[in-house]
């Protein structure tokens, strides 16, 4: 009955975990949810009212597939002002979240069995989206400096990959950020390989320490496809994201978008554009940075206090995740089973690898828990880890 394409794609393990983590008795470090107390509710309500007051029936009408032009202009302006990136609003396609951007990219680029390069560990949602098109994954490890350049070079030589997918800022799941040197060196290799690089950047604006890093677009603009979203800076429920792509790629993405859903929710686009006309996103993002910086510091402090010293972990300068590594031989899935019994959840590392299981790595989210829950949850996790040593 079902296509080979869908039979080969596993259910998202995280979505399954989130069902458990939704239980109010559980302290959950599992999801990748932004902190709901920071949603700009009042300003969004006011923007919605203004959109209605304008009174055009057009706000309820079908619209074009590219997206609402004033919103695309605002996105281009933000790239120019915050990152020195010059993208033409005409080649920005508004999508139903950046997750749809991944699906459309898969549809446009991947034939069954095509090689693509992904990070290890990497974003599960991208792995799932590309798996639907039966891609062959070539995983290149990431470390505290960025992508493993030697392994990248080997992989580029050994495959004819068309596409490499990276999350260079506060990566999901590891929280690491590529250094500028690492980006420059990786960009040189990719330039030579003549392939496209997809830079997915949902967390880049959420920097609470350290210095801004360059986009791959600044090194290889004609080969870089930018994915963006308002999910982590405004709110995910609008399902608003975008792809900024070179002209010829844009044309193909547009066809795929038309076939998928005609266009992204036009009413959402109008509200968000109105919201951005009246409210400083910079100021709003500043508030998020401060709160996430404090939540991260609380989690690191609790880890230092309660985890045995054999456990290593990343200390991100932004974003929403810390990546932990248990001593060799211990299984993070076993830790998950023990922790859930004590009402604490997180995501074991296995979900973020294309072909490895029973790993000793795990992801902790700090953006969606208050400081008391962070302290208590990490204390319980520490006890569970000690019980496994």
User: What is the distance between the alpha carbons of residues 82 and 205, in angstroms, rounded to a whole number?
Assistant: 9
CB of residue 135 to ligand PLP, shortest distance in Å? 16
User: What is the distance between the alpha carbons of residues 363 and 347, in angstroms, rounded to a whole number?
Assistant: 5
Helix orientation angle between 180-193 and 149-158, rounded to the nearest 10 degrees: 10
User: What is the distance between the alpha carbons of residues 136 and 110, in angstroms, rounded to a whole number?
Assistant: 9
> Is residue 42 a contact partner of residue 273, using CB atoms and an 8 Å limit?
no
Site string for ligand PLP, 333-362 (x = CB under 6 A): ------------------------------
**# binding residues, ligand PLP (CB under 6 A):** 14
Choose between 146 and 331: whose C-beta lies nearer to ligand PLP.
146
Site string for ligand PLP, 196-235 (x = CB under 6 A): ----x-x--------------------------x-x----
What's the burial of 53, exposed, middle or buried (CB within 10 Å: 0-12/13-18/19+)? exposed
Cα 223 to the chain's mean position, in Å?
20
CB of residue 46 to ligand PLP, shortest distance in Å? 23
Choose between 202 and 377: whose C-beta lies nearer to ligand PLP.
202
Closest residue by beta carbon to ligand PLP: 97
User: What is the distance between the alpha carbons of residues 295 and 120, in angstroms, rounded to a whole number?
Assistant: 26
Pick out residues in 66-125 that bind ligand PLP (CB under 6 A).
97-99, 123, 125
CB of residue 98 to ligand PLP, shortest distance in Å? 4
Among 34, 146, 236, 348, which residue interacts with ligand PLP (rule: CB under 6 A)? 236
Greatest alpha-carbon pair distance for the chain in Å reads 65
CB of residue 101 to ligand PLP, shortest distance in Å? 8
Pick out residues in 134-173 that bind ligand PLP (CB under 6 A).
167, 172
User: What is the distance between the alpha carbons of residues 27 and 384, in angstroms, rounded to a whole number?
Assistant: 14
Choose between 242 and 307: whose C-beta lies nearer to ligand PLP.
242
Question: How far separated are the first and last CA of the chain, in Å rounded?
Answer: 47
The residue ranges that bind ligand PLP (CB under 6 A) are 32, 97-99, 123, 125, 167, 172, 200, 202, 229, 231, 236, 241
């Amino acid at each position: 009955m079902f296509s080979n394409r869908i039979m080969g794609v596993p259910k998202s393990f995280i979505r399954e975990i989130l069902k458990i983590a939704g239980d109010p008795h559980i302290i959950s470090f599992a999801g990748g949810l932004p902190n709901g107390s920071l949603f700009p509710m009042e300003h969004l309500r006011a923007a919605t009212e203004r959109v209605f007051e304008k009174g055009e029936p057009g706000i309820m009408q079908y619209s074009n597939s590219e997206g609402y032009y004033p919103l695309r202009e605002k996105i281009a302006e933000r790239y120019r002002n915050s990152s020195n990136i010059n993208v033409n609003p005409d080649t920005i396609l508004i999508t139903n979240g950046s997750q749809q951007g991944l699906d459309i990219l898969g549809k446009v680029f991947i034939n069954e069995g095509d090689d693509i390069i992904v990070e290890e560990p990497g974003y599960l949602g991208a792995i799932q989206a590309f798996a639907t098109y039966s891609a062959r994954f070539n995983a290149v490890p990431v470390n505290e400096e960025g992508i493993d350049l030697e392994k990248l070079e080997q992989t580029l030589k050994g495959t004819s990959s068309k596409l490499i997918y990276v999350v260079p800022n506060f990566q999901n799941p590891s929280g690491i950020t590529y250094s500028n040197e690492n980006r420059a060196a990786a960009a040189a290799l990719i330039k030579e390989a003549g392939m496209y690089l997809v830079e997915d950047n949902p967390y880049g604006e959420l920097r609470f320490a350290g210095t801004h890093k360059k986009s791959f677009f600044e090194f290889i603009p004609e080969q870089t496809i930018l994915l963006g979203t308002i999910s982590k800076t405004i709110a995910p429920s609008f399902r608003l994201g975008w792809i900024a792509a070179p002209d010829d790629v844009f044309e193909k993405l547009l066809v795929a978008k038309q076939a998928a859903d005609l266009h992204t929710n036009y009413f959402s686009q109008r509200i968000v554009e109105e919201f951005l006309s009246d409210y400083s996103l910079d100021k709003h993002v500043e508030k998020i940075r401060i709160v996430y910086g404090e939540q991260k510091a609380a989690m690191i402090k609790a880890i230092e206090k309660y985890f045995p010293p054999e456990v290593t972990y990343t200390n991100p300068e932004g974003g929403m995740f810390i990546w932990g590594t248990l001593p060799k031989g211990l299984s993070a899935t076993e830790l998950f089973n023990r922790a859930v019994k004590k009402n604490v959840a997180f995501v074991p590392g296995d979900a973020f690898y294309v072909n490895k299981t029973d790993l000793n790595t795990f992801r902790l989210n700090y953006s969606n828990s208050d400081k008391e829950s962070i302290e208590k949850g990490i204390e319980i996790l520490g006890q569970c880890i000690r019980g496994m040593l």
